[in-house]
């Protein structure tokens, strides 16, 4: 799958679904969640899942730059300072792939197969946000998830890597309640294109994980080794020099399956 092809096939989002993503990052601190608003921009052939907070703060920043707009009273504007999720998942339904886009000073990406999830469907129903939902379960990347999907919203998609059910996944959480995706609502963000980040480099999961761990382990030496701060970083050049260690106590993906 070439990145150039993805760029060409950029399409406009038909709908935007907002989710709250909650993650209990540290198992020693039960009930403490990292939380962020995420958005799933859904097109006909592609979709992208990324941070909604980052989108909002980006657009707020753009507004600030365009200060010549007399009407906007900027004094009330708050620009979020919390670290935001910059990773994205771009799905291409025609090519049957889910492109993982990760950020580590720069964007890196690699392909995974789309919705390779073995779902079990149950007759249980529940109404969430006014939508009639049905239960489904799966095991994914080392966690057991329960999902509620709604065939009233005919997109076989969901937040993050989830999808492949006969309707949009409204809520999904693992059975330990460490990972939670909750549907917030529909936002009409008109004319947003499902776009790949501008500067990005092809990589692989293995290569990226090695580099990330190295970075989290010793960010300063990582930056020195990469030659520049904020510049383009070639992962393959440095992954050999860096030792890996898992710094996140409770990652979302516990294994590769």
Q: Is 75 in the site for other proteins (CB under 8 A)?
A: yes
How many other CB atoms are there within 10 angstroms of residue 46's CB atom? 23
Pick from 137, 146, 156, 225 the residue near other proteins by CB under 8 A: 156
d(CA 245, CA 243): 7
Q: Is 154 in the site for other proteins (CB under 8 A)?
A: yes
Closer residue to other proteins, CB minimum distance, 91 or 210: 91
Q: Is 93 in the site for other proteins (CB under 8 A)?
A: yes
Closer residue to other proteins, CB minimum distance, 129 or 245: 129
Burial of 246: CB neighbours in 10 Å, binned 0-12, 13-18, 19+: exposed
d(CA 41, CA 202): 22
Strand partners, 250: none
Pairing of strands 34-42, 15-23: antiparallel
Q: Is 78 in the site for other proteins (CB under 8 A)?
A: no
d(CA 131, CA 153): 9
Closer residue to other proteins, CB minimum distance, 34 or 186: 186
Question: Minimum distance from CB of 121 to other proteins (Å)?
Answer: 6
d(CA 123, CA 100): 32
Q: Give the binding range for other proteins (CB under 8 A) out of 103-111, 126-134, 199-207, 223-231.
A: 126-134
Q: Is 105 in the site for other proteins (CB under 8 A)?
A: no
Q: Is 80 in the site for other proteins (CB under 8 A)?
A: no
Half-sphere exposure of 69 (CA within 13 A, CB side): 10
Q: Is 60 in the site for other proteins (CB under 8 A)?
A: no
Q: Is 58 in the site for other proteins (CB under 8 A)?
A: no
Closer residue to other proteins, CB minimum distance, 120 or 237: 120
d(CA 166, CA 256): 25
Do residues 1 and 97 touch, judged by C-beta distance below 8 A? yes
Pick from 10, 80, 94, 224 the residue near other proteins by CB under 8 A: 94
Site for other proteins in 106-125 (CB under 8 A): 121, 123, 125
Question: Minimum distance from CB of 47 to other proteins (Å)?
Answer: 11
Taken in order 232, 237, 241, 243, is the CA torsion positive or negative?
A: positive
Q: Is 146 in the site for other proteins (CB under 8 A)?
A: no
Q: Which residues bind other proteins (CB under 8 A)?
A: 14-15, 42, 44, 66-73, 75-76, 93-94, 121, 123, 125, 129-132, 134, 151-156, 164-167, 185-188, 190-191
């Amino acid at each position: 799958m070439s990145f150039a092809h993805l760029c060409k096939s950029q399409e406009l989002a038909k709908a935007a679904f907002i989710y709250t993503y909650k993650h209990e990052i540290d198992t020693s601190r039960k009930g403490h969640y990292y939380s962020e608003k995420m958005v799933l921009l859904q097109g006909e052939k592609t979709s992208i899942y990324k941070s909604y907070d980052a989108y909002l703060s980006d657009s707020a920043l753009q507004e600030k730059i365009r200060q010549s707009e007399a009407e906007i009273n900027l004094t009330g504007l708050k620009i979020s300072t919390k670290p935001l999720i910059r990773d994205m998942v771009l799905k291409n339904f025609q090519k049957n792939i889910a492109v993982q886009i990760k950020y580590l000073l720069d964007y890196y990406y690699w392909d995974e197969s789309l919705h390779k999830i073995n779902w079990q469907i149950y007759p249980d129903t529940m109404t969430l946000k006014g939508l009639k939902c049905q239960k489904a379960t799966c095991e994914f990347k080392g966690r057991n998830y329960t999902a509620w999907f709604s065939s009233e919203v005919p997109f076989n998609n969901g937040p993050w890597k989830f999808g492949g059910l006969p309707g949009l996944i409204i809520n999904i959480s693992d059975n330990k309640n460490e990972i939670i995706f909750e549907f917030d609502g529909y936002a009409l963000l008109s004319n947003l294109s499902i776009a790949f980040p501008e500067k990005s480099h092809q990589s692989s999961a293995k290569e990226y994980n090695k580099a990330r761990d190295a970075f989290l382990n010793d960010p300063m030496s990582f930056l020195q080794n990469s030659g520049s701060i904020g510049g383009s970083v070639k992962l393959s050049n440095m992954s050999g020099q860096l030792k890996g260690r898992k710094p996140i106590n409770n990652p979302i993906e516990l294994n590769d399956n």
